[in-house]
Chains A and B, each alone.
Chain A
Amino acid sequence: MKLDRRRFMKLAGSGAACLSLGQLGVSLAPVKAYAAEMKISGAKEVVTVCPFCSVSCHVIGYVKDGKLVNTEGDPDYPINEGALCAKGAAMFTMTTSHHRLQKPLYRAPYSDTWEEKSWEWMFDRIARRIKDTRDKDLILKNGKGDTVNRLESMFLLGTSHAGNEECAIAHQAMRGLGVVHMDHQARI
């Protein structure tokens, strides 16, 4: 009989979502079991999908007091059945990496440094850049007199990291502006 993770928990006679194997009497070193319990006990389980490769392994994020405390493969997902590769297993470090960018950064022309700016400031400035470029360069007619409404001098590159909903509005925005140079990892 094949047991999925939830049924295993149920059969083990536990209503609590986050009992560790150690507590169920499966042979894990007691210290290890204790440590595991400390880490995720009482944590909320949130299902996510690994952001690398299109096997799309499911991962459970454990959240305690609004903080990510652990990640592990989702044993219920019929494709990965709890297993993860090196990248998937690094999901926790990836999210909490100390290399993460913290604030919007701006580099002025010819400058040799980044400056911190607010999102509002960045959005305003980007919108201005886009509009000015479009107003100046939008090609209404081609050489043959066909209506073409295209903005060749601006582009969008990326990304397969975006979710479906993000891609859908990215595409809509670009076609609204007239952008034709558009590409991403699908062509790499």
Chain B
Amino acid sequence: MGSNAAEHHPISFKWVLQAKDKGATVMHVDPKFSRTSARSDFHVPLRSGTDIAFLGGMIKYILDNELFFKEYVVEYTNASLIVGKDYGFEDGLFSGYDAKTRSYDKSKWGFELDADGVPKRDKSLKHPRCVYQLMKKHYSRYGIDAVSSTTGVSAENLLKVYKEFAATGRADKAGTIMYALGWTQHTVGVQNIRSAGIIQLLLGNIGVAGGGINALRGEPNVQGSTDHTLLYHIIPGYMAMPNNEWQTYDDYVKANTPVSNDPMSANWWQHKPKYFASLLKAWFGENATPENGFCYEYLPKIEKGEDYSYMYLFDRMYENKIRGGIIIGLNPMNSVPNSNKVRKALDNLDWLVTSELHHSETTDNWKRPGVDPKTVKTEVFLLPSAHRLEKEGSVTNSGRWLLWHYKAIEPAFEAKPFGDMFVGFMKRVQELYRKEGGTLPEAVLKLDYPDRYDPEELCAKINGRFTKDTVVKGKKYRKGQLVPSFTALADDGSTSSLNWLYAGSYTEEDGNKAKRRSTSQTPMQANIGLFPKWAWCWPVNRRILYNRASVDLNGKPYNPEKAVIEWKDGKWVGDVPDGGWPPMATGKGRYPFIMSKHGFGQIYGPGRQDGPFSEHYEPVETPVARNMFSKQLNSPVYKYVSSEMDKLSAPADPNYPIVLTTYSLTEHWCGGGETRNIPNLLEAEPQLYVEMSPELAEEKGIANGDGVIVESVRGRVEAIAMVTVRMRPLRVHGRIIHEIGMPFCFGWTTPGTGDATNRLTPSVGDPNTTIPEYKACCVNVRKADRLTELAT
């Protein structure tokens, strides 16, 4: 669901097909019939933005028919925990909602604690306020009729999917869900995934072979770039970005280190101070000491609750509040919503540094069609970047494997790696501060920043080093030597590491493990396709997270045929266990979900911005005027910006009655800035098109191959009509609703191919992630009188 893996992650899909050959049922639930659908057992089309209704119906089905994995649910999830009396849910709103700030007071959703501060549990699952009962009540509203009418999926198809998937609730069966941007790019994106999390926990499908929720990350190193964090809200290793309320190192540590009073909970984040102090040591080197809070004072502090993501950045740029910046390996003039606005916003910059393989809509924005360059003040730097084969370093795949790529050839012409670029200007900025002084020069000058870009050395620095002679488990390490694992990291300044998750990847004992290429494995590992000696996987080479949930309280695999780990002769065998404690039944074990404070899989998730359970809300632009599940039409907490160019159409606006969804293509990557410059890829997918059903085409008088105009309240786009049964009209709220689909990879710098589809999409985002709602907005379509953007 929410993925077209056969086209967007083609190589991943060959493993799905192998599973199918072995008897697995493969189901594709997605608005569009694609090559994924063609190779699945069956395809179920649904209306974009209604996944929670679909999945809520499945949760109800599993609960009503008691198809869940009871022992797993009771022992390993928070289903048995008692929720406090302040929790409530009424007509689409959870308790604690403040309409003025459009936010929830999450303290209303906490668990009830006993005298020792440990959450109360009722393992019989009968207590009226236990998570299980609250969940049952919450999803009782997701009956087949309401779900069918909302999603446009027939009752028969709903039951077919529910029945097949719920059958994996047995100990000897596993089910997996593959999702991608089809789930994240909604104002309820996180709750789409939460719904899947609830289902997988109910069915005991997390931590087991062939289970899980697989995020098919779409970008080349998006896992690594998230771990190492080119994002505003976190710092490397998934720790919070300091904010103004945490003025000192001690404030930060206190506010960010969870405490559990339950001796059975590993509460792994209790070690956070060690990871944070080691990161600051890696950033500020010798200058960082315990006495000065490891130079914490110099770090920027974001304003608590403020959002600094794309959507808000471009809004501030549009309002003339941003002076300059750097855009590398990214084409936001094509890939960010409401392109007409962001293209205009970029004109307001004084300076812009870009680095790319080719010219793109972003690098050349100052001379885009319809704009006189003589009116654009921006000073633009365009640096030629090296391609993958022209540089070495590591990347991290979707399964968290750390993989080394070697340099094959020198960079073409005068191209350089991004790394050289950062070192190049930072070295000079430091020189200028040394010479001239300036505002808070210490923050820049005290950085332990490399003089030259050396990926091998940086890979070691990411792993981490001892900053003084240390003994770990009887073994002596000298100052400067590599730490063997994150368990060796300390908060006293004796270790440094650019990312605790990667500690153990580059060691004195085994060198750079990203380079390992051995396919050797034990028969037990071979049985489930684990390759523990190929490269390395974070954390600590554990290939399947939360794998202790795959065994019973005695450490015996629930499914011996597909064992991930097993307690044998006093130790764990198989994968690296998620914590080495003995099985739970010994009384010395720990709950398997070690990263959550209480140790349980979180069916109830009180940490999210939009509620502890998922709830269906319509997309912000929706073809219907009411929500079948409550009076609350849209998410009460979705994010938005509100310049005069950020128009939204009204619910069920007759001018824009058609749902638009957008997607990638096998042949093009993201905004297309690179792949359109590859002749063979452009030849395969040369032009912007719009897929529509024959029924809609007939209604609009459009023939296959016609040039058409697609319009939203924000903009208009030319495309070639592709009339196809791959798009189906859906019966929603008792009437027919049409959905169309378009790629978004074409742009004006490749003449005749078309221009940004994102001129149509709105700047509204998920309240947890601010990922924009690219997957559902409202448009209209008509035959074009003439075409200017497309070659004919």
* Residues of A participating in the B interface, judged by any CB pair closer than 8 Å: 4, 46-58, 61, 63, 66-68, 71, 76-80, 83-88, 90-91, 93-97, 99-112, 114, 119, 122-131, 133-138, 140, 142, 144, 146-173, 175-188
CA distance A51 to B393 in the complex (A): 12
Of A79, A102, A153, A165, which is within 8 A of B393 by CB?
A165
- B235 cross-chain contacts in A, Cβ below 8 A: 171, 175
Decide: A86 near B681, CB < 8 A? Known: A160-B219, A172-B447: yes
Interchain CB contact under 8 A, B669 and A87 = yes
B433 lies within 8 A of chain A by Cβ? yes
Partner of A186, one of B216, B231, B380, B458: B231
B327 and A157: CB pair below 8 A? yes
Known A161-B221, A173-B449; further 13 A-B contacts with Cβ < 8 A: A49-B405, A53-B216, A76-B517, A97-B677, A131-B433, A149-B301, A157-B313, A157-B326, A162-B225, A162-B418, A165-B393, A171-B230, A176-B283
Contacts of B426 in A (CB 8 A): 169, 173, 176
For A130, give its contact among B11, B217, B328, B425 (CB under 8 Å): B425
Q: What are the 8 tightest A-B residue pairs by CB atom distance, in nearest-first order?
A: A159-B329, A163-B393, A158-B330, A127-B428, A56-B397, A161-B329, A155-B325, A167-B228
B367 interface contact, C-beta 8 A: yes
| B741 interface hit (Cβ, 8 Å) | no
Assess A184 versus B428: contact at CB under 8 Å? Given A76-B519, A100-B358, A103-B384.
no
The answer to whether residues A138 and B439 also contact, given A131-B432, A157-B332, A180-B302 and a CB cut-off of 8 A, is yes
- Which residues of the partner chain B approach A126 to less than 8 Å between Cβ atoms? 353, 381, 425, 428
| 26 A-B pairs whose Cβ atoms sit less than 8 Å apart in the complex | A48-B408, A49-B403, A53-B219, A55-B397, A56-B396, A56-B401, A63-B409, A80-B11, A85-B11, A88-B11, A90-B678, A102-B413, A107-B378, A126-B381, A142-B303, A149-B301, A153-B321, A153-B322, A153-B324, A154-B325, A155-B322, A164-B459, A167-B229, A169-B453, A171-B235, A183-B308
Tell me the B344-397 residues at the A interface (CB within 8 Å): 350-351, 353, 356-359, 366-367, 373-385, 387-391, 393-397
B389 touches A83 (CB 8 A): no
B423 within 8 A of A: yes
Contact mask B476-492 → A, CB, 8 Å, 1/0?
00000000000000000
Least CB distance, B78 to chain A, in whole angstroms? 28
- Given contacts A127-B432, A135-B438, A57 and B11 within 8 Å (CB-CB): yes
Contacts of A186 on B, CB cut-off 8 Å?
219, 222, 225-226, 230-231
- Given A56-B401, A57-B11, A167-B230, verify A183-B459 contact (CB < 8 Å): no
Instruction: List residues of chain A with CB within 8 A of the CB of B406.
Output: 46-48
Tell me the smallest distance from the CB of A55 to a CB of chain B, in Å: 5
B395 nearest CB across to chain A (Å): 5
On chain B, the residues within 8 Å of A173 by CB distance are: 422, 426, 447, 449
Write the B59-77 contact mask toward A (1 if CB under 8 angstroms, else 0).
0000000000000000000
Contact, CB under 8 Å: B231 / A181: no
- Give a binary string over B1-31; 1 marks a CB under 8 Å from any A CB, 0 the rest: 0000000111110100000000000000000
Q: How far is the CA of A144 from the CA of B380 in the complex (A)?
A: 36
Query: Are A176 and B414 within 8 A (Cβ)?
Result: no
